[in-house]
Structures are given as C-alpha cells and as structure tokens.
C-alpha cells in the first residue's frame, strides 16, 4: 500500500469502542501478537518442522549424556551396572529398528485416511470445514510426535556400537537414554493416535462441526470492541491509501500499528473495506482524515490479505459457514432438513448473544483517548439478513425447517430490544408469505407455520 493525495470516500457513522471518549483510561488497541498467532494456527507445517528440529536437538543432548554416563561407569569400574545398561540397550535396539522401519508407513496410511475423511466432510457440509482440520491442535500434535519419533529412532540407531553383545570394557557409548526416549515416544504416539482418530471421527459428525464453528464465532464476537452510533465526527478527507499487493480477502487488520501510525501523523484513518471484503490492486483500503497519509513503511503489514476469510476478527464468517451448511442440506441433491434445523439452532444461539451487543462502527483510540482508526463492522440488520435470507428462500417447501425458523425468530423477538425487532419481523412476514405461496392446502400451511424448536421432532 502507499499514500496518495486525493479525495476520500464518504465517511461512515462514528462510533466509540469501549468506554466513552471522556474516559480517563481508553481501551488499548488489540495486540499485534493476536494476528500473528492466528496466522500461525492457519499453517500446518510449523509444528511438524519444529518437531523434527527438536528431535535432532534431543538426540544430540542425549547422545552426549549417554557418552558421559558410560565414561563415568568405566571410570568407577562399575562394569556390572554398565553391562545392565548395554543389555537394556541391546533389547531396545530391536524395538527401535522396528519403529524406524514402520513409523513412516504408519504416518502415510493414517494421514491418507484422514484426508479422505476430511474430503467427505467437506463434500457433505462445506469446504470451509477443512480449516478446522488445518487449525486442529490434536492433528498438528499427532503429526509432530509421529515425525519426531521417526526421526529420533533413525538417529538413535546410529548410536549403537559393537555386536549383539559388545564388551563393556571397550564400548564408548550405550544409547540408554536414547532408547528410553524412543520407547516413550512410541507410547505417546499410540495414545495420540487414539485421540487423533476420535477427533477425525468428530469432524465427520454434523453436531461437533457446528458446535466448533459456533464457539469460534462467539469468541470472535466477544473479542470485538463495543461500538456506538453517535461517535465524534470525522474531519475532512485529505488522502487515501490504495492496495498495492495481490488481490484477496481482507483477513485481519493490525489495529495497534494503524493507531500508532495515525498518532504519529496526527490524523484519523478509516478502513474502507470491511473484514472479509475482497480487494483488488488500485482500490482504496484506508481513507485519511485531517492530514497527510502515513508513510508506506509505517503502513506495511497493517492490512492482511489472503485467499480466504479468517474468523478471529470476522465473527460474521461463522454465520456464513452455518448458512452454507444449511443451504447445502436444503439443496435437492442432499435433501437433509434435519441438518438445516441443527444449523438454525446454532444461528439462533449466535444471534441471541449478538442481539444486545452494540454492533456499530468501531473507533479505536490511542493512549490519550484520541480517535485514530475507524472500522466499519456488520450491524444487527446485516447479521440477521446473513443468517436468514438465503435459508428462507430455500425453506418454504420444508415444513421441518419453516417451523424451526419461525420458532427461532419468535425466540429472538423475545430477546431483542424494540429498536432491533424490525429485521426479525420482516423475515418472519416474508417467511409466512413464501409458505402461503408454496403450500396450497390450508391444513398443510397451518402445520408448516406452527413454531417448533425441533422442527417436527
């Protein structure tokens, strides 16, 4: 991105995150480490690579310790104790050899089956569930331990010396500690294999997948600062910053760095696209109010663009995934209204939390309380439309879904304050109209329009 003089776009409504502008202790911007942590969680190679490096370091350390143990026993003349160590190492050598030969084949078979399971889950639910597998801690830990076991067992084999029964008076090292650690890694691999299979099977079940998506979306919603619709007005637009990198989806924003860059220039920055929007080179991503744009160096790595959306700053992405799963379940090729009802359960759960949250544009402040960054987020109407619009279009012919949808809207109407009831009432009225057009029989219409939290049961 680079600064460019010129007119800015129209400013959105203001908002204040956290305490009001008169507070003596304004909230600090989110830490930059959060974005880095989320990016690392989206990678699958880091943990296995670290495991391989750790296995090599452990081998070097334990090899040196084994040498010192043998040297100490030889110096003390404790040949019986040394013979016992050599006997144990010789017995363990067969296991280590077997592990080194079989572990790589075992890894290939396990993860080949897992990829098939993930492919089946993505075909039945949505391709977005692949990110659950990629971000799974148990998947990364299992692969890391498997590869570390394989690498360490190969390295441990190089430490064995002599024949089947080496002379303890001549032996220079006995890989006692290395053999113990190899056996421990084998046991840990077996335990992780059981946990990994259980985790992979849960990935193929609708309920656990929906629960995982909902919990991630609610955590993202809880991390989002509170906004207010009556924030301080922005100054005149003086410049804008255009996107100069590859096209992609806005994944997250380094709020702390943008606030710091704006404070040093004495300006206010406004994020033009929302998190989750697709941007192309040459389009504005930041509008500048009150002065010149910060330097290109100050704004580097502040707006992260990737090939797909992320959840940690985009709670609406959770609703998008739930809606996608429901739409696929309602398609004529799948025809699984029960799964759509389960999605509606989670959608209502999410909206029940969001209904009383101040979903307004965020004004991020510096330590002195001055507004430095304005960020537009989806409002209540946006979330309701995202949750129900597409599902409503496909649900009119399914009484199980219409009954659950009506029950969910009625529950939200009980929770919603007066100013947030309008989009819920609108979707309820549109659903009733759609059912009346689709279902000609009066008795069938009455059945389809009867609210039921289980659909039909």
Extract the tokens encoding 202.
């849960």
User: How far is the C-alpha of 423 from the C-alpha of 431, rounded, in Å?
Assistant: 12
Distance (Å) of CA 161 to CA 5, 173, 397: 73, 7, 75
CB of 70 closer than 8 Å to CB of 89: no
Confidence at residue 233, expressed as pLDDT on a 0 to 100 scale? 76
Residue 225 lies in a domain: no
* pLDDT higher than threshold 90 for residue 411: yes
Q: What is the mean pLDDT of residues 237-241?
A: 88
Confidence at residue 116, expressed as pLDDT on a 0 to 100 scale? 83
Residue 431 burial by CB count (10 A; 0-12/13-18/19+): exposed, middle or buried? buried
Residue 269 lies in a domain: no
Residue 161 lies in a domain: yes
Residue 324 lies in a domain: no
- Which residues on neighbouring strands pair with residue 373, listed in sequence order? 269, 364
**In the structure, what pLDDT confidence band is assigned to residue 405 with cuts at 50, 70 and 90?**
very high
Handedness of CA 81, 87, 90, 92 (dihedral sign): negative
* pLDDT higher than threshold 50 for residue 448: yes
**In the structure, what pLDDT confidence band is assigned to residue 163 with cuts at 50, 70 and 90?**
very low
User: How far is the C-alpha of 242 from the C-alpha of 293, rounded, in Å?
Assistant: 11
Residue 295 lies in a domain: no
Q: In Å, how far from its chain's centre is CA 196?
A: 18
342: left (phi over 0), alpha (psi -120 to 50) or beta: alpha
2: left (phi over 0), alpha (psi -120 to 50) or beta: beta
Residue 9 lies in a domain: no
Residue 104 lies in a domain: yes
* pLDDT higher than threshold 90 for residue 70: no
Q: In Å, how far from its chain's centre is CA 32?
A: 16
Q: In Å, how far from its chain's centre is CA 386?
A: 20
Which has more confidence, 111 or 89? 111
Residue 163 burial by CB count (10 A; 0-12/13-18/19+): exposed, middle or buried? exposed
The domain total for the chain is 1
Q: In Å, how far from its chain's centre is CA 82?
A: 52
* Residue 164: how many other CB atoms lie within 10 Å: 6
Confidence at residue 228, expressed as pLDDT on a 0 to 100 scale? 59
The tens digit of pLDDT for each residue in 270-316 reads 999 999 999 999 999 999 998 889 998 889 888 989 888 888 889 99
Residue with tokens 């004529």: 332
Q: What is the mean pLDDT of residues 72-91?
A: 69
Does this model's pTM top 0.85?
Answer: no
Return the biggest CA–CA distance within the chain: 99
Q: Which range marks the domain in which residue 138 is found?
A: 42-205
Which has more confidence, 162 or 89? 89
User: How far is the C-alpha of 15 from the C-alpha of 239, rounded, in Å?
Assistant: 21
Residue 145 lies in a domain: yes
């Amino acid at each position: 991105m680079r600064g460019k003089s010129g007119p800015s776009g129209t400013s959105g409504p203001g908002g204040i995150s956290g305490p009001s502008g008169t507070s003596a202790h304004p909230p600090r911007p989110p830490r930059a480490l959060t974005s880095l942590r989320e990016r690392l969680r989206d990678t699958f190679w880091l943990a296995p690579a670290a495991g391989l490096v750790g296995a090599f370091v452990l081998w070097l350390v334990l090899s040196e310790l084994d040498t010192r143990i043998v040297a100490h026993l030889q110096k003390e003349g404790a040949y019986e104790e040394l013979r016992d160590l050599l006997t144990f190492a010789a017995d363990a050598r067969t296991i280590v050899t077997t592990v080194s030969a079989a572990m790589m084949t075992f890894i290939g078979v396990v993860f080949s089956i897992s990829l098939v399971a993930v492919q089946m889950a993505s075909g039945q639910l949505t391709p977005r569930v692949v990110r659950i597998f990629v971000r799974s801690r148990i998947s990364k830990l299992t692969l890391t331990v498997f590869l570390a076991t394989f690498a360490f067992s190969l390295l441990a084999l190089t430490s064995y010396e002599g024949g089947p029964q080496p002379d303890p008076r001549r032996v220079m090292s006995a890989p006692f500690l290395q053999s113990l650690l190899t056996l421990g890694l084998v046991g840990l691999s077996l335990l992780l294999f059981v946990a990994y299979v259980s985790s992979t099977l849960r990935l193929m079940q609708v309920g656990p997948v929906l629960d995982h998506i909902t919990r991630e979306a609610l955590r993202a919603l809880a991390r989002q600062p509170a906004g207010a619709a009556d924030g301080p007005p922005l100054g005149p637009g003086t410049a804008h910053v255009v996107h100069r990198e590859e096209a992609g989806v806005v994944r997250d924003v380094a709020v702390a760095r943008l606030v710091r860059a704006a404070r040093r220039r004495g300006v206010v920055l406004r994020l033009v696209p929302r998190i989750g929007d697709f941007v192309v080179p040459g389009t504005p991503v930041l509008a500048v109010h009150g002065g010149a744009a910060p330097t290109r160096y100050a704004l580097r790595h502040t707006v992260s663009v990737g090939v797909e959306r992320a959840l940690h700053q985009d709670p609406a992405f959770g609703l998008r995934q739930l809606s996608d799963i429901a739409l696929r379940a309602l398609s004529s090729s799948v025809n699984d209204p029960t799964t759509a009802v389960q999605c509606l359960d989670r959608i209502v759960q999410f909206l029940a939390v969001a209904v009383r949250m101040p979903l307004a544009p965020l004004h991020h402040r510096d330590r002195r309380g001055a507004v430095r960054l304005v960020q537009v987020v989806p409002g209540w109407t946006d979330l309701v439309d995202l949750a129900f619009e597409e599902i409503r279009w496909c649900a009119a012919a399914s009484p199980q879904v219409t009954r659950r949808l009506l029950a969910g809207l009625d529950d939200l109407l009980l929770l919603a304050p007066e100013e947030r009831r309008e989009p819920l009432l609108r979707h309820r009225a549109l659903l009733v109209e759609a059912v009346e057009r689709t279902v000609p029989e009066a008795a069938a219409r009455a059945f389809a329009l009867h609210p039921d939290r289980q659909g039909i049961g």
